[in-house]
Structure 1
């Protein structure tokens, strides 16, 4: 198959969250299977990394934005068997951050991703690559399926091209005014509730759902939630029910070459399931030292690696840490809501022997937290799939998670008598007291029944959390889409 993936970020080139990890891993998975030619399109942001050998496609091509014309250039790199193309336009992509500054979203994000979406389609024509499938990710590429079914409907180059649209988080919808619809170049006849119209404006996410040949999200349970629960569907549950025959959930995996405790170069010693006790102790002591916490081998250490925002439930955790600070240590890595950043800064400042807050992007520290923590806390209000709980289990760190979304699909909750299968702990009641009660149970097991705790750790590490099965499920969905 000729496969094009279009996304606003992909690891290792540009990343703000799990979307990048998923897109990067899928590209590599697809390229390793015989018969596939894989191209990835990304915006050429200022801070693109690992592109020292970048090659330039000669010439430029033109993209209309409303009544203006923008020039676009293409450059590319060979990433294994994947060709990665970077869409260049300094006006829109030569900026300090991908989507926003501390003041908020870039006000022209609509134009930025209108340009990117059309640049992907024109870019394929520019280089002469005719895709069988274009796999689009999240709101930033939601207009690509719409363009294929409207503006490019009679374009012979795309006669056989089909689209798959993956929703990684339905809360982010790319909702803009009617003027953005006009800037995108769609015909007013298509501005109807069953197509583009959305509360008097346009939702890039809704457009992808309406026009894509198939739609999926990143776990089966989340696929059910967003169709049935208005709190999860964010206004699009009715549309998803309407498209239910062409909507499914495929759970994420993790790149087990990147996330491998046995070969991880940033850990003091590598470890597998047979050496997990020794390996995690070394990782814990090193993490405590790096974070300037007392090196206490027996003190439970709770790790958090997360974007700081409402979805992740970390506002509730602030008071919780105050209640537990004498009984456990906390290492937090993440940025986001300025008020939450200040709250965690205050916690660390006032409790230097029990709380370490690290407000930055730091891949190495993330690896060390996944390995060195005993418990990984993930109290999400909603979670499409989640990667952190998968990574923590890969490293033998037991997740404490909410009973939502993909967390239900990937974690097996501990109860007495389920020691042979359990890999973590479920928060049954999303309140401060509910999270506290689950953590109390996990801490009690850690402190008073270490043999059972170690059994759960080994259960977690023995799972197959790789992309193998899920990548094959995507390829099967591609073939179904092409029929």
Structure 2
């Protein structure tokens, strides 16, 4: 795996957000790969709770400045970057004032999901792809963690299907235990349709709950990692139905199997 390129895309990453199973796993897997000579890039949303001064985030002017179209609206894309201390790993932050400036992550003070979480997820997926295109950095593996990153496989396989930079990229999705209650904005499916993605690919999103969003990610991936020791049966069934290569759950002190698994995924036809 030395000199291979792995793009890690996660809703959460420590040390920028509090420690959760997703935030810790995304960081530790990337750290392990980086330590073994793999070229890594990490992408996450620039949530307003992230302390830019403490973590030394700075805007990358040459990457910022484009607009993304989200449901027929022009939304400016701002790219920020930081390095994780001691690890010399670069982290890129997808930012937009309207979507990410608020001092909260996924829910409001009443613990209700933000009504625009659907658009934030679309913006994040498109923002990652457009930034990687500007970097001209073709990843061998794209490893997705967390529900806010989980529209990325769909967009890569459909909206960006003709993009040559990702022609050889393999998508790996980590599946975690249930992550939010309720549903995202039910207009999500119409907003994805605006990007001319076929109905057959997005019917699953008509009820945009956690399980269906992850099902969409799984069905548009090349392989799956079980990120939690126990995952919902519906998701286990979807993984089995799609016949995808699966890496079983790994404890925090055992990330070597990830590198072996990446190698197997890269070599599959």
* Band of TM-score, shorter chain: 0.7 to 0.9
User: Helix, strand or coil for the counterpart of 2:124?
Assistant: helix
Structure 2 residue runs of 5 or longer lacking an equivalent are: none
Q: Deviations over 1:342-385 (max 9, x none)?
A: xxxxxxxxxxxxxxxxxxxxxxxxxxxxxxxxxxxxxxxxxxxx
Larger radius of gyration: 1
Residue 76 of structure 2 corresponds to residue 83 of structure 1: no
User: Helix, strand or coil for the counterpart of 2:79?
Assistant: strand
Report the alpha carbon displacement of residue 212 of structure 1 after superposing the two structures with TM: 0.6
- Report how many aligned residue pairs link the two structures: 254
Which of 11, 14, 26 is the aligned partner of 1:11? 14
Q: How does 1:429-440 map to 2 (within 5 A)?
A: none
Tell me the residue number matched to 1:187.
196
The structure-2 alpha-carbon separation of the partners of 1:12 and 1:199, relative to structure 1 and needing over 3 Å to count, comes to: closer
Which of 255, 259, 269 is the aligned partner of 1:475? 259
Tell me the residue number matched to 2:34.
31
CA contact under 8 A between 1:76 and 1:84: conserved in structure 2? Answer: yes
Report the alpha carbon displacement of residue 55 of structure 1 after superposing the two structures with TM: 4.8
Q: How does 1:180-329 map to 2 (within 5 A)?
A: 180-184=188-192, 185-187=194-196, 190-192=198-200, 195-198=201-204, 200-202=206-208, 203-218=212-227, 222=230, 226=231, 232-233=232-233, 235-253=234-252
Aligned partners of 2:30 and 2:97: how far apart in 1?
26
Which of 146, 159, 174 is the aligned partner of 1:151? 159
The structure-2 alpha-carbon separation of the partners of 1:479 and 1:96, relative to structure 1 and needing over 3 Å to count, comes to: same
Aligned partners of 1:191 and 1:123: how far apart in 2?
27
**Taking structure 1 as the reference length, what is the TM-score of the superposition?**
0.49
Which of 37, 41, 44 is the aligned partner of 1:42? 44
Aligned partners of 1:155 and 1:173: how far apart in 2?
35
**Taking structure 2 as the reference length, what is the TM-score of the superposition?**
0.85
Report the alpha carbon displacement of residue 83 of structure 1 after superposing the two structures with TM: 0.9
CA contact under 8 A between 1:216 and 1:249: conserved in structure 2? Answer: yes
Tell me the residue number matched to 1:95.
102
Aligned partners of 1:42 and 1:199: how far apart in 2?
22
Between Structure 1 and Structure 2, the one with more helix by share is: 1
User: Helix, strand or coil for the counterpart of 2:122?
Assistant: helix
The structure-2 alpha-carbon separation of the partners of 1:23 and 1:173, relative to structure 1 and needing over 3 Å to count, comes to: farther
Report the alpha carbon displacement of residue 16 of structure 1 after superposing the two structures with TM: 5.8
Report the alpha carbon displacement of residue 115 of structure 1 after superposing the two structures with TM: 0.4
